[in-house]
Structure 1
Amino acid sequence: MEKHRGRSRFIALCVAPAAILFFIFMILPTLNVFRMSLFERGAYSPTETFVGLKNFQMLFRDSQFIRSMQNTILLIVVVTVITFALALVFAGILTREKIRGQNFFRVVFYIPNILSVVVISGIFSAIYKPENGMLNSILSMLSGKTVMVLWKDEPLVMVSIIIAMVWQAVGYYMVMYMASMSSVPQSLYESAGLDGAGRVTQFFQITIPLIWTNIRTTLTFFIISTINMAFLFVKAMTSGGPNGASEVALSYMYGQKDAGLYGYSMAIGVVIFLFSFLLSALVNKVTKREPLEF
């Protein structure tokens, strides 16, 4: 009994520093965001005026905030679908097919993930440059005439951000899925092949179900992290422009804070927090499956 108590004390002492730091730097600031959302206050003013739910009432009548949330949801859906589809396909090809230089392709695909968002934004801003950017230069060469597409203008700005975000993320998840797929027994594919199942059928009937737990975990993580990554890309590439066409929820929140509407920006933070929490719960619920063993 005494030995058990001593072990419990030792575990508590080991966990306590991390728990205390988590409470101070995560729990308390989060609770303070909820508190500040009920007040009206300037960014650098110590004076607070309790306004209750007034900030939230203003929020849902704010057309610019609604547009920023629509852009956020668009990026979450489109970037997630494209990234995971490409990551799974590339991982399947590099794992199942006999391709020379597989390690080389792993490194090449993974490189974007080790670059900072600022570097990637600079690369794509140069590619999208209207006058002499690589993309317009290629289109001009193929068409035989000068092409001047404004890739960061209002109609195409979200497409441009989506391409950059997918390019940054796809290699990381491809490598993760390659590690999972390599653990699937080859005998399962051989048995399926003898039964007449082709590569595509094997991919959807064997590979995907057996690595579903990994897919589910990374999917939840990626969807939530996309909210933050969208802010970073927008801030570095477009600053929310042109005319707010690429504004996302987090960049709009920071803009309101910089404008001196501190309480209002905290209300936006609360909405984003609740949205992230509910989205995570929904994804976990929808993707829940019975684990398969092999």
Structure 2
Amino acid sequence: MDKQKGRGRFVFLCLAPAVILFTVFMVIPTINVFRMSLYKWGGYSANQEFVGLDNFKKLFADPKFYQSFQNTILLIVIVTIITFAFALVFAAILSREKIKGQNFFRVIFYIPNILSVVVISAIFSAIYDPNNGMLNSLIALFREPGEVPTLWLGNQQLVIYSIAIALVWQAIGYYMVMYMASMASIPESIYESVNLDGAGRVKTFFSITIPLVWTNIRTTLTFFIISTINLSFLFVKAMTSGGPDGASEVILSYMYKQAYTNSSYGYGMAIGAVVFIFSFALSAIVNKVTKREPLEF
């Protein structure tokens, strides 16, 4: 009995710091977001007026909110599909094919992940520069002299896709390395059997490799979607600040502007509450849709 009590105290002491930190920095702030969404408050004064659901009524009648929400969904879809497609293909090539300098390519692909968002944003802002940027300089080789250069970050139709490219470039290497680790655990005998049956590389990739690493794909997919919501705010803040005319505004950048720039803290917290619910709902949907029986080998 004393041994069990001692073990219980030990487990409690080990878990207590993590539980306390999680409660202080996660649970309490989240509850406060929902509480403040019911108030009208500028964020800097002591006057807090309870307005109930008025902030949410205003939110669902705000066209700029819908625009930022649409941009967020667009980035989630585009960045997720392109990132996972390239990460899986590159991981399969570097894992299965005999290529000279494989370790060199692994390092090169992973480098963007260790750079800060500010550095990556500065790199792509320089690439997209309309006058001296590398992208316009390359396109100018195939254009007639005197043509107006493309404003990649100043065009309402192109800006969100330009940010998506930066997000993809930043994330591919990290997920490629994760999938390479999963693919390395697949026994070589399985691939030998498939090759004897006459299956090509493409068929092997989709019928053997993908199903056997599906559990890892499913787990990383959920985390990636949530991280895209967060990272999109950082890239937008560093590259465009939501411009031009709100064309690159995402839901978190719009929340930030309302809460800390427009002195509408309560309204900003209402947006934050919607983001919180949306993130959890999206994670649940992804887990449900991607659920399948795990394959063993």
TM range (shorter): over 0.9
Q: Deviations over 1:97-145 (max 9, x none)?
A: 1000000000000000000000000000000001111001111124464
Where do 1:117-156 residues align within 5 Å?
117-143=117-143, 145=145, 148-152=149-153, 153-156=155-158
Q: Residue type matched to 2:98 in 1?
A: K
1:264 is matched with 267
Offset from partner CA, 1:245-267 (integer Å, 9 cap, x none): 00000000011112111100000
Q: Counterpart in 1 of 2:286? A: 283
Could you tell me which amino acid in structure 2 is paired with residue 80 of structure 1? T
Q: TM-score, normalised by structure 2?
A: 0.97
What is the CA distance between 1:292 and its match in structure 2?
1.2
**Residue 188 of structure 1: aligned partner:** 190
Secondary structure of residue in 2 paired with 1:33: helix
**Coordinate RMSD, CA, aligned:** 0.9
8 Å Cα contact 1:180/1:214 also seen in 2: yes
Q: Which runs of 4+ in 1 moved over 3 A?
A: 142-147
Correspondence for 1:157: 159
Identify the residue that residue 206 of structure 1 maps to in structure 2: 208
What residue ranges of structure 2 are gaps of 5+ in the alignment? none
State whether residues 140 and 146 of structure 1, in contact with CA within 8 Å, keep that contact through their aligned partners in structure 2: no
Distance 1:40 1:115 in 2: 39
Q: Which residue of 1 aligns with 2:230?
A: 228
In structure 1, list runs of 5 or more residues that go unmatched.
Answer: none
Tell me the equivalent position of 1:54.
Answer: 54
Count of aligned pairs = 294
Q: Deviations over 1:45-102 (max 9, x none)?
A: 1111111111000000000001000000000111000000000000011111100000
Aligned to 2:91: 91
Structure 2 residue 66 is the aligned partner of structure 1 residue 66: yes
Identity among equivalent positions (%) equals 70
1:252 correspondence with 2:234: no
How far 1:6 sits from its partner (Å)? Answer: 1.0
